[in-house]
Chains A and B, each alone.
Chain A
């Protein structure tokens, strides 16, 4: 559907994007995820035709896009600032692009009505663009793009200006909408939860390069690099010694944990000298006094960080140079486990994550 090959974008000597290779499938919900300044918007603007790559090429639906201006591309965009026309009312905003489609008045009206009801803005058609709340502006921007029935919808951090509650609602809604109409969505976000919750696939970007492209579960459970692992949720990077390849497995001596074998996935090349072993905080379980697990380590609670649904414990485990982060659930009582306590922590053997670099 969208084929991006070898695309680079330089501003003077600054390299904003480098060697981007990406295929986005038709009907896919694809997210570009990365920290601020990593080049997400730049890439989205290249797809939308608002900017021209310094090298490489982009094609959409088989048609090369070089030399095709934004107004002739089969894409529509929801801008980060929404870019609602302040001198027009909601209905006029939504109908703005329909003049190029050769529709009758009735057809136009029907399309506008349909788009407004899709984003639940019925009855607000005559409100001026300059008099809308953030959530309403977001919906108008969405309706204005959807009414064009594009092959690809580009969304640049469409939810970042909304409060948390509304943002979570809109995540569900956007995903539902995409499933209903079945067009390709390319979403830019710096919010990992948003990307995980909504996408079919995610590309994680750092410094103008793509670090990993995978499905949400895959990218969370098997990040290929320390950077990706760190960006998506918490990760305890473990101190290991004598990492080696042993048949199907990568084996390492992990201080405090003993010898850990990690199954190699597919035909991946792993360089034991560069690889890192880690474990997610939620895969470490605090044990009750009378509980006994097969694999256990013990440590001392250094500090607690309360988040409501869970508490993050920072635990110094014997042998590991850095303290580990462990998730404590609320069934440990109102005040939880006090700082300074000695705790036993259970883990599963398959909970370890092997990162190539």
Chain B
């Protein structure tokens, strides 16, 4: 037993070490930086909490962080709400073509992330596909300017980018659902909606939570999408962090912003999981 465990650790030791170095190393660097001070070109290594004071106190950073959380929360919820029916359809009505459907869903990933964002620019732009179509149909008389370079554009683009990552965990949890449980619910007088709310949803909640986290955590830190389609209203906290590490060249402040964001994201993720568990209890 013991030697078995030892052997297991031995087998994974190399990749584990590699992963730990790449994970913990940067975190230590960031943490250390966040307690230092930028002094023009040098770093003053005396301990200080000034960076955190700035990160949490300055309205601009607070607003950006709040906006990022809002965007990632909206994106993850929107993505999951759109992904659930897709996963449900594939799992329940995919028949023999299930594999094909899953394959089709991953097709967009054959193109680069940037290309996908740029294609949304083409769709949402002032003379873009959507405006042209709406104009052509006579729904609007002038192109909508709010489509591109807005928070909405960021949300739409991110939701599309992460759709497959939300569909897959939900699909897996639906596949694991024992279908006789639904028959049992029907047998006990429950119609289709009650079957869904009392059996399917609670039992696939782990997939939903996984999907929410998978979408939410990376979107908080995304800075490419806001930069390309967000305009000035779509700037998010990661853009500010990027500026501190780049143009502004204030690593300590950037680090403090990053750490603050990380902690707040973890806390909101935990809060969300707890809220869903509570919802599950109430659903009974």
Contacts and interface: CB of A to CB of B under 8 A. Distances in A.
Interface of A: 48-50, 69-72, 75-77, 79, 81, 83, 85-88, 92, 96-97, 99-101, 144-145, 148
A148 B184 contact: no
A92 B284 contact: yes
B255 to A, nearest CB: 43
B183 A100 contact: no
Given A71-B188, A99-B190, 17 more contacts: A48-B187, A49-B186, A50-B183, A50-B186, A71-B187, A71-B190, A71-B191, A75-B187, A76-B187, A76-B188, A81-B180, A85-B181, A87-B203, A92-B284, A96-B188, A97-B187, A97-B190
Given A71-B191, A88-B284, A92-B284, A83 B186 contact: no
Contacts of A86: 203
Contacts of B191: 71
A340 B57 CA distance: 102
B183 to A, nearest CB: 5
Given A81-B180, A86-B203, A96 B280 contact: no
A75 B183 CA distance: 13
Contact of A70 (B187, B202, B284): B187
Contacts of A99: 189-190, 194
Contacts of B202: 87
A355 B199 CA distance: 51
Contacts of B185: 85, 96
- The 9 A-B pairs at the shortest CB distance, nearest first, are namely A97-B188, A83-B184, A100-B189, A70-B186, A83-B180, A71-B186, A77-B187, A97-B189, A71-B189
Nearest to B180: A83
Majority secondary structure, B binding face: helix
B142 interface: no
Contacts of A77: 183-184, 187
Nearest to B182: A83
A180 to B, nearest CB: 22
Contact of B180 (A76, A79, A145): A79
B85 to A, nearest CB: 22
Contacts of A148: 188-189
Contacts of B190: 71, 96-97, 99-100
A21 to B, nearest CB: 25
A86 B173 CA distance: 14
B280 A87 contact: yes
Q: Which of A83, A92, A145 is packed against the most chain B CB atoms within 10 Å?
A: A83
A148 B202 CA distance: 23
Interface string B170-200: 0000000010110111111111001000110
Given A83-B178, A97-B189, A148-B189, A70 B183 contact: yes
Contacts of B199: 85
A69 B186 CA distance: 8
Contacts of A70: 183, 186-187
A15 to B, nearest CB: 23
Contacts of B184: 77, 79, 83, 85, 144
Contacts of A72: 189
22 contacts: A70-B183, A71-B188, A75-B187, A76-B188, A79-B180, A79-B184, A81-B178, A83-B178, A83-B181, A83-B184, A85-B185, A87-B280, A87-B284, A92-B284, A96-B185, A96-B188, A96-B190, A97-B189, A99-B194, A100-B189, A100-B190, A101-B189
Interface in B189-220: 189-191, 194, 198-199, 202-203
A85 B280 CA distance: 14
Nearest to B187: A77
Contacts of A145: 187-188
A252 to B, nearest CB: 51
A148 B185 CA distance: 12
Nearest to B281: A87
Contacts of A101: 189
Nearest to B205: A87
Interface in B250-284: 280, 284
Contacts of A97: 187-190
B76 to A, nearest CB: 23
Contacts of B203: 86-87
Nearest to A51: B183
Contacts of B183: 50, 70, 77, 79, 83
A184 to B, nearest CB: 16
A87 B185 CA distance: 13
Contacts of A85: 181, 184-185, 199
A50 B187 CA distance: 8
B63 to A, nearest CB: 40
Nearest to A76: B187
Contacts of A50: 183, 186-187
Nearest to B203: A87
Q: Which of A48, A71, A76, A81 is packed against the most chain B CB atoms within 10 Å?
A: A71
Q: Which of A48, A72, A96, A100 is packed against the most chain B CB atoms within 10 Å?
A: A96
B176 to A, nearest CB: 11
B203 to A, nearest CB: 6
Contacts of B178: 81, 83
A81 B186 CA distance: 16
Contacts of A144: 184, 188
Contacts of B194: 99
A300 to B, nearest CB: 53
A144 B183 CA distance: 14
A72 B191 CA distance: 9
A250 B130 CA distance: 89
A88 to B, nearest CB: 6
